[in-house]
């Protein structure tokens, strides 16, 4: 695993941290967490908001980027992904409190109390009543995106409840002093962990970030200078020997590990008889020419299938028969999302 930095804090593609990783991150690293986008509605308008224009401000729900509209859809997607926990995000899930509570209750009922659930919010809608309800239905971890003074009130209130409480903010280059103040204040009130996310360009924030002078690192979507600042902050935390867990989550981790591991699980859990699985993708053969009698025989023996007018079979069978075929490569979504025909 590549070590990317530094003198006193060593980092791999999985990130860098001082202290312990939050439970939600431990599961995420293994690809065991799914993401439930509860709603695109949010009362803030952060210039770095990564939410896509198609979702921002719209009351839509997704699980792992698949649109869902019912409890059954959510459960099916989580079973297909083999998840043992979820992160509830948006938008601000607390804008739709009843929906959020009912999702948490349903997941705990269906998957059991060990199923781990964390939730992101700015804290605007947090109060003791809301916290009691969240704790009662079984929320395990609350991650506050600190955007204003009200986020601190939310943190202070949450710390009085039996729940894991942390901060999760992107690392904006040029904010070293602000981040130090944030960490010291979090430490003083007893916040358990701080997650620092590498700032990423997305369809939703590209223009806004470019207009403010941020640039992408070569060959990626991460912002120049975000990782360096995160490492500087971790070294500072380590030097001060602060009793707080701080974790830096690099953008590359999501692409190379979290996403691929989740896709690999989904592929294995939903593999069709003619599919091969590797690197988080499924592959099969689409026969372009083969003697009709051979194809008929394959279909009758359930080794080939006609799907949307194409005859499909496993690559192994297609090779063995010497038929002409294309290898189809797809994301293991339902329905499959074809990426390449080779």
Q: Which residues bind ligand SF4 (CB under 6 A)?
A: 42, 44-46, 49, 51, 90-92, 122, 145, 147
Rounded least distance, CB 45 to ligand SF4, Å: 6
Task: Using the minimum distance from each CB to ligand SF4, give the nearer residue, 55 or 262.
Answer: 55
Structure tokens at 248: 């830096």
Task: Using the minimum distance from each CB to ligand SF4, give the nearer residue, 46 or 294.
Answer: 46
Nearest C-alpha neighbor of 166 from the set 242, 244, 51: 244
Task: Using the minimum distance from each CB to ligand SF4, give the nearer residue, 120 or 248.
Answer: 120
Helix ranges, the chain (H): 23-29, 71-81, 97-111, 128-137, 149-158, 176-189, 206-211, 226-240, 251-253, 259-270, 292-300, 315-321
| b/e 71-92 (16+ beta carbons within 10 angstroms → b) | eeebbebbebbbbbbbbbbbbb
Task: Using the minimum distance from each CB to ligand SF4, give the nearer residue, 94 or 311.
Answer: 94
CB atoms closer than 10 angstroms to residue 147: 16
CB atoms closer than 10 angstroms to residue 222: 19
Structure tokens at 179: 């981040």
Rounded least distance, CB 247 to ligand SF4, Å: 19
DSSP 8-state secondary structure symbol assigned to residue 155:
H
Cα Rg of the chain (Å, integer):
23
Task: Using the minimum distance from each CB to ligand SF4, give the nearer residue, 82 or 204.
Answer: 204
DSSP 8-state secondary structure symbol assigned to residue 258:
I
Rounded least distance, CB 58 to ligand SF4, Å: 12
Task: Using the minimum distance from each CB to ligand SF4, give the nearer residue, 92 or 198.
Answer: 92
Rounded least distance, CB 333 to ligand SF4, Å: 24
Rounded least distance, CB 281 to ligand SF4, Å: 30
* Chain mean position to CA 236: 28
Rounded least distance, CB 122 to ligand SF4, Å: 5
């Amino acid at each position: 695993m590549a070590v990317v930095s530094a003198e006193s804090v060593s980092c791999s593609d999985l990130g860098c941290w001082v202290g312990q990783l939050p439970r939600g991150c431990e599961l995420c690293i293994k690809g065991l967490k799914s993401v439930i986008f509860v709603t695109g509605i949010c009362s803030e308008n952060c210039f770095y908001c990564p939410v896509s224009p198609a979702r921002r401000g719209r009351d839509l729900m997704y699980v792992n980027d698949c649109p869902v509209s019912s409890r059954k859809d959510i459960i099916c997607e989580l079973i297909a992904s083999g998840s043992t926990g979820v992160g509830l995000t948006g938008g601000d899930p607390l804008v739709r409190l009843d929906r959020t509570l009912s999702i948490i209750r349903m997941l705990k009922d269906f998957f059991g109390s060990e199923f781990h659930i964390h939730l992101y919010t700015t804290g605007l809608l947090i109060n003791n009543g809301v916290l009691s309800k969240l704790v009662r239905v079984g929320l395990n971890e609350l991650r506050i995106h600190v955007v204003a003074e009200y986020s601190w009130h939310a943190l202070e209130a949450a710390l009085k409840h039996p729940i894991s409480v942390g901060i999760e903010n992107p690392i904006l280059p040029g904010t070293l002093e602000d981040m130090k103040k944030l960490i010291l204040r979090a430490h003083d009130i007893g916040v358990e962990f701080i997650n620092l996310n590498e700032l990423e360009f997305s369809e939703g924030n590209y223009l806004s970030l470019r207009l403010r002078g941020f640039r992408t690192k070569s060959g990626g979507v991460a912002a120049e200078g975000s990782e360096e600042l995160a490492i500087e902050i971790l070294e500072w935390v380590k030097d001060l020997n602060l009793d707080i867990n701080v974790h830096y989550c690099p953008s590359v981790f999501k692409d190379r590990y979290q996403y691929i591991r989740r896709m690999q699980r989904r592929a294995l859990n939903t593999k069709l008889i003619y599919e091969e699985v590797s690197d988080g993708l499924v592959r099969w053969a689409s026969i372009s020419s083969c003697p009709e009698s051979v194809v008929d025989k394959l279909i009758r023996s359930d080794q080939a299938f006609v799907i949307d007018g194409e005859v499909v079979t496993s690559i192994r069978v297609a090779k063995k028969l010497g038929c002409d075929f294309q290898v189809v490569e797809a994301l293991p979504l339902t329905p499959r999302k074809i990426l390449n025909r080779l």
